[in-house]
Structure 1
Amino acid sequence: MEILQSESPRVGGLIASNECVLPYTSVREVADRFFSLAQMDALAIAEGNEPVGLVTRPKLLFTLFRRYGFELYGKKPIIAIADTEPLLIHKEERLDVAIDRALDRPAENIYDDIIIVDDGDCYKGLLSVRQMVIQQSNALANSIVQKEMASERAKELEKLSKIKSQFIANVTHELRSPVNAIIGLTELMRTSCEKGYTDQLKDRISLLISSAVNLRAIITNILDLSKIEAGKIEVVCEHFDVATILREVAETTRILLGSKRVDVEVVAHDGPVFIESDPTKVRQILTNLTSNAAKFTEKGRIVMALGIEDERLMISVSDTGVGIKEDDLSKLFIAFSQLEDAKTKRHEGTGLGLTITKNLLNLLGGSISVSSKYGEGTTFEISLPINYKAEEL
């Protein structure tokens, strides 16, 4: 995989100052400018737009503070003590190349500022070696960060690829199971009809319907996730009694549990609890949570509790099932993922239900949290606004 790298900056974009003086400006005047600007380390000398020299603070101080320095040089033009062959570098030169050229100078000039020029060798500004080294260090640091980010991104893409591959395998298996059941049951029904065994048809028709319903649920989950990712899910807001939906979902869960020794309890006020939201999506959210609880609970109970807190609807779904390991809690809402625990692997599924649930809650302005103790059970708690308002989301 190709790793992203930061291109070395161009020196023209790093110029901090383009001050300069004329060649015949007196040494004393230039000294006054240096003394008034403590941060200035060098000053370019230019005539018109043509750079003709460079004077540095150390060179100026050495000249003036030697014996009789002010008397000898104070009134002379600055060009008399300047470096008349300074290093000129084009503004489009790469920073790393400019640093190499600057450090390749004689030892006495190695830290002198460089003069930046354009295509016509016209003066554009000064750049210090120290500033260049700092900028190059920052560029290298950014390059390292980008490489690390690219490496992390590659790992994430590899992880996603594995998850989707697992999803395809899961979906293939999930679809094959009910389809094979439908085909097999249909063949048995035809044989029963041919032989006149009509008493067996009723049971086989029930199994056929169950397999078809299971197949439809799998396809619905896949289509729902596709719509969510494409942003094509719309909220149809209505005024409805959420307590009634809760009790209806509880009854469906009892049927889903079949012969399991699991009680389903509803904890809510006797009267209605009206909210403004999308009843179809609220029902789907509750169905996903209770179906999940029914799948992983072999005995005990499933409790669905409803309440109001701070103008928000609070619903919890608790079970006494296998529970979830703490390290696995972060994987629950990742699309296509399923937990690898031995207690849960025997339960089939595409791993989409909780992902869809979280996305639907986000769409309705809600949230979901989970707590679990491995081997003892799990509690999902959802929060929804009592009055859905799309513009506030």
Structure 2
Amino acid sequence: MALAIRNARLYRQAAEARAEAEEANRTKSRFLANVSHELRTPLNAIINFSWILGQELPTLTTDHRNLLQRIEQSGHYLLELINSILDLAKIEAGHMDLSLERINLAAVVAESIRMVEGMLDGSPVTLRVDLPAELPEIQADRARLSQVLLNLLSNSVKFTQQGTITVSAEVTGAFLTIHVADSGMGIEARDIGRIFSEFVQLDPDADRKKRGTGLGLPISARLVQLMGGRMWVNSEKGSGSVFSFTVPISGGPAS
């Protein structure tokens, strides 16, 4: 009897501790979301005013224009960070609403490729699409799928100085497996296990253009999970990386 009472007490204490931890996590997520929303309005004003000043004041010196560009670039970096924190807060709070529909992958890949082409800036890197002629449509949130692809492609562009970046796909059972492969710098074996953790910077010495927020990959992985798939990476330092993720194949009208 005494053992049963003690076990019941321990179970109750564990349940209470778990409930407190979950409530603390929800409180943190609400706080991050509220603060992020409050920061976006003045930050957008700073970005827009910096751009306007650069366009409307012809008497600015080169140094002054460079300073305005740095203000605008820093503002965009902070806005990206805030948007990422908002996404993370929504996911952790269970408030990330997805609009699942049947999607033609080739169309989303083509849009994503067009959006990252400008990042190449004349570098000797080739973007390739290697999709089978016949692919089943997938069940996913179009905007979030595009977000995942853009994140993987932009990371590849940042860390590939020359060579190729290839998007490919294959059917694996009830899923479509999508690969983004590059010939970039690759990842150390010791870092593979933490690549999808929040705020991880694998190369702290990289310049800001390459460093990013440390949230793109963990958010992408969790978005893929919410859509019913999973994400992983195969990489070797100096030999490039292949980021892969699965998305369910489903019936219904294509969009």
Q: Judge same fold: TM > 0.5, yes or no.
A: yes
Contact 2:126 2:164 in 1 (8 A): yes
Change (3 A) 1:336 1:308: same
- Is it true that 1:13 corresponds to 2:5 in the alignment? no
In structure 2, the partner of 1:189 is 55
Residues 380/179 of structure 1: CA separation in 2 closer, same or farther (3 Å cut): farther
Distance 1:371 1:223 in 2: 29
CA RMSD of aligned residues (A): 3.6
Once the two structures are superposed, residues 309-332 of structure 1 have per-residue CA deviations (whole angstroms, 9 ceiling, x without a partner) of 212101000111111100011111
> Secondary structure, in 3 states, of the residue corresponding to 1:222?
helix
* Aligned match of 1:335: 198
Q: Are residue 378 (structure 1) and residue 241 (structure 2) matched?
A: yes
CA positional deviation for 1:352: 0.2
Gaps of 5+ in 2: 4-35
Q: Which has the larger radius of gyration?
A: 1
Asked whether 1:262 is paired with 2:125, we answer yes
2:155 is matched with: 292
Q: Residue in 2 aligned with 1:278? A: 141
Q: Is the 8 A contact 2:101 2:141 kept in 1?
A: yes
Q: Which amino acid aligns with 2:53?
A: E
Aligned to 1:21: none
Partners of 1:323 and 1:378 within 8 A in 2? yes
Asked if structure 2 preserves the Cα contact closer than 8 Å seen for 1:307 and 1:314, the reply is: yes
Distance 1:330 1:299 in 2: 26
Distance 1:180 1:344 in 2: 23
Change over 3 Å in CA distance of 1:285–1:346 after alignment to 2 = closer
2:196–2:218 Cα contact (<8 Å) kept: yes
Alignment of 1:190-229 (within 5 A): 190=56, 192-193=57-58, 195=59, 216-229=79-92
Number of equivalent positions: 210
| Contact 1:297/1:319, CA 8 A, preserved across alignment | yes
Q: Residues 45-72 of structure 1: CA distance to partner in whole angstroms, max 9, x if unpaired?
A: xxxxxxxxxxxxxxxxxxxxxxxxxxxx
- After TM superposition, the score normalised by the length of structure 1 is 0.47
Aligned residue for 1:257, secondary structure, equals coil
The structure whose RCO (Cα within 8 Å, separation 6+) is larger is 2
Q: TM-score, normalised by structure 2?
A: 0.70
> Displacement, 1:269?
2.4
Residues 13 and 216 of structure 1: CA distance in aligned 2, closer, same or farther (over 3 Å)? closer
Residues 208 and 313 of structure 1: CA distance in aligned 2, closer, same or farther (over 3 Å): farther
Tell me, yes or no, if structure 1 residue 369 matches structure 2 residue 235: no
Matched residues, percent identical?
30
